[in-house]
Structures are given as C-alpha cells and as structure tokens.
Homo-oligomer: A and B are copies of this chain.
Amino acid sequence: MNNKIEIIIVDDHPMVIEGLKSLLSNYDILSVTHTFTRGKDAYEYLSAHAGGVVLMDINLPDINGIELCDKLCSVNPVIKILGMSTHNDASIIKQMVHKGARGYLIKNASAEELYAAIENVYKGSTYFSAEVQGILAESSLKNIPRLTRREKEILSLIASGETTQQIADKLYLSPLTVETHRRNLMQKFGVSNAPALIKMAIDHKLL
C-alpha cells in the first residue's frame, strides 16, 4: 500500500490501454493497477473496490458505458469515473455526467490534459476539457425535444413504415389517438410532415 493514485482503465482497445499506460507512466504519482477490456469484469472488480480513478471508455463490447457508469455509481457512490470517447457526442456526455461521471475526455487529449483531469477528479472536483465544455454549451442551445414514452414508441413505428391504422391496431389505440401523437411529435420537432420528422429524430439520435 503506497500513496500513489490508483488508476483503473476500462477500454476494449488494447492499443488505447497501452497508450494510456505509456502516457501515464511519466507521472510517478499515478499507478495503473487494473485494466479491463470488458464491462462485466470491470463491474465485478469495481463494485467491491473503492478508491482511485476509473478511466472508462463509453463504447464497450458487452455493456453500454452509460449503464455501467450508472450501476457502479449506485453501488459505490464514492467511485470517481472519468468518461472517455472518440465521439464528441453531446447527448452521450450529458447522460454520462447525469449518471455520475466526474469528468469527460475526448480521446485526442494530450498527456497533460489527461493528467489534469485525473488530478481534478481524484481531488473530488470535476473535469471537462474546453472542447467538451464547448460541445455541451452548443448542445444546450439547440433544445432537443423531450418525448414521452408513448411518443417514442409511435415515433419508431412510424420510422419502420407503419401507417396510423397499423400502429393503432398494434397498440390497441384509436387511430385518432395515434394521429394526435404524430401531430404532437411533428410539432415538437417543428416540422410539418413525417419524413422530416424521421430525419430530425435521427439527427437528434432519438431513433
């Protein structure tokens, strides 16, 4: 037991794990103690071990990174997770933060940035790179409409080519009700027909 900061890496790309190890090896205070390529293994270990900082990729093969983050944070609220991804997708970053991540990095981060992020998160603070902050700021401007459960359900049925009548049959609803939902969807997205609705929904990653 020494006073180094314990680093746990969860990423399915061996070359990224190696890269992180190599970048972090320059900082004596840090020590990469465990690496996992599968979310399941990481969960098993981390649900029983507190302390340290977890560098976690969002795109894991077996489990969604966001879910994993959620689970870990509820089992072990002290856990310090630093999300990572190649994609600078605002909605993912938001979700990640909402689920308890203490910071977020895009993978083109430099060693300095990486270290700064780890240091901040370890101390109990948070860390978001300028780039990530910019993305979050931008995304908060264009407000993504909040859809209800029913609306999401009907939206995906519209996308798969079902007509109002077919959707009504499938969900045991009046076609008039389905139509109302479709109209509400179009209104929420500010469009005036279904093709544009589908386009917008996909653009906003809701399909």
* Chain A interfacial positions (CB closer than 8 Å to B): 12-23, 37, 59, 61, 86, 107-111, 114, 158-161, 163, 191-199, 202, 207
Contact = CB atoms under 8 A, between A and B. Distances in A.
A76 to B, nearest CB: 26
Contacts of A111: 14
Tell me the interface secondary structure of chain A in the complex.
helix
Contacts of A16: 15-16, 19, 107
14 contacts: A12-B108, A14-B108, A15-B109, A16-B16, A16-B19, A18-B20, A19-B22, A21-B22, A159-B196, A160-B196, A160-B199, A161-B191, A163-B193, A194-B194
Contacts of A12: 108
Contacts of A161: 191-193, 195-196, 199
A14 B110 contact: yes
Copies of this chain, complex-wide, total 2
Contact of A195 (B18, B158, B192): B158
A15 B107 contact: yes
Contacts of A195: 158-159, 161, 194-195, 197-198
Contacts of A199: 159-161, 198, 202, 207
Contact of A13 (B107, B198, B207): B107
Most chain B beta carbons < 10 A, residue from A12, A61, A158, A202: A202
Nearest to A193: B161
